[in-house]
Each structure stands twice: as C-alpha cells, then as structure tokens.
Structure 1
C-alpha cells in the first residue's frame, strides 16, 4: 500500500500533545509525514517547520489548531489540494468545512490516533 503523505498542522515538540503522539504513530505505521508548528524541532525524525511550505502530494492534512488559529491556513490548505482534512477533537470548524466542500476536499471529524489504531486511516 502506498504511503499516504500526511501534513500535521499544529505540530508540537511536547511529547504529551496529541499532535506529537500522532506524528509518532504515523511514522510507526510507515506513513510519510511532514509537519508545521510554532517551534522548529524534530519528532520521530520528522522536522517541524515553522513556515508554510508548498509540500507536494499531500493526501491528508490532520489539524491540531483551534478554529481561530486555522483561519490563516484556509487558503494554504485548499491550495495543497489534499484528498481530505481531519478535524481532531477541539478543532471542529463549520466555517472551514464549507470552504473545503466548495473546493471538493473531503473532511472528517475524527481522531487521527483512533483512526490509526483501528486501521481506518
């Protein structure tokens, strides 16, 4: 199975954060992972970028930003044209759902960690 390249948006260096756990788990499941967060660093061999980068072939964007913090990334995410965006608990954002639907991008309100654990990723 081809790796689904995933962008973790809102990545954290703190090991107790869900975004950090998600990076670790995605890597352990052999997914190609890129990450953007507030602080540069490395988690499980994945470099966390602090600037938006035009990554290619993003299959999934998994969000770990509250709705207010997501706004600055709307256009960026739509331009990446991922197959889907996952809204993890606490990131639910009806305004963004509408934008994604208009761009024909699937969205899921789910938990990346649970999807991985249950083989639904």
Structure 2
C-alpha cells in the first residue's frame, strides 16, 4: 500500500520532505506530488494530477486555499484515509471525503510515524 504526499518538495526544511523521508525509513511505499518537479531519495516529485493506483493514504501538506484542485482527484483515488497535517486542516473537504467513505484525519504524519500509530 502506498502513501501519496501532496505538497512534496526537494527542500529538506519542509515538513512534506521530512515526512517522505520518514515514510521511506519506516518501509512505506510513496508517491509524491508537488508544484515543482524534482526528487526525494530517488523518488520523482510529479506535477499535476498523475494517474496512480493502490494509494492507501494521502498525507496533505498544502493549505486549504490550495486544495480545491485536488478534491475530485482525491475522490477518484479512493484512498482509505487522508491525513490533514498542521496547517492543512480543511473541515469542508473532510466532510466531502467522509461522504465518499474516505476517513479524514487531522494529525501529523511525522508524529504518527514516530509513535508507531501510522
């Protein structure tokens, strides 16, 4: 099962980058979407809305005002859950996802991984 990181960046100071690296260290498969193409530990940062399969979890690192373009994409991906990291909380989108049977979670991916409840 894969985790999709939305808001990925090559900048190692960004939490999305730290999360991608931590996911890899914890043995999780990842896909990355960001504003700029690049890579994290050899994994490509894709731009746009790539066709993906078997995405179990989406971890969101873009703010609510920049999430509108992802609403239909998330519904089509049908992940089991979407984690809204600090700064990415979006109650309206969370409600829409719930209606689609997708669990919205307000949490920090880095903390979840570090305490073993990812």
TM-score using structure 1 length: 0.95
Match of 1:15 in 2: 12
Q: Does 1:113 align with 2:84?
A: no
CA distance in 2, matches of 1:47, 1:23: 11
Match of 1:81 in 2: 78
Deviation of the 1:18 alpha carbon: 0.1
Q: Which runs of 5+ in 1 are unaligned?
A: none
Per-residue CA deviation, residues 31-80 of structure 1 (Å, 9 max, x unaligned), is: 10000001111101211001211210100000000001001100001100
**Aligned counterparts, 1:1-121, within 5 A:** 4-121=1-118
CA distance in 1, matches of 2:43, 2:117: 23
CA distance in 2, matches of 1:46, 1:116: 19
TM-score using structure 2 length: 0.98
The alignment of Structure 1 onto Structure 2 pairs a total of residues equal to 118
Q: Which runs of 5+ in 2 are unaligned?
A: none
RMSD (Å) for aligned C-alpha atoms: 0.7
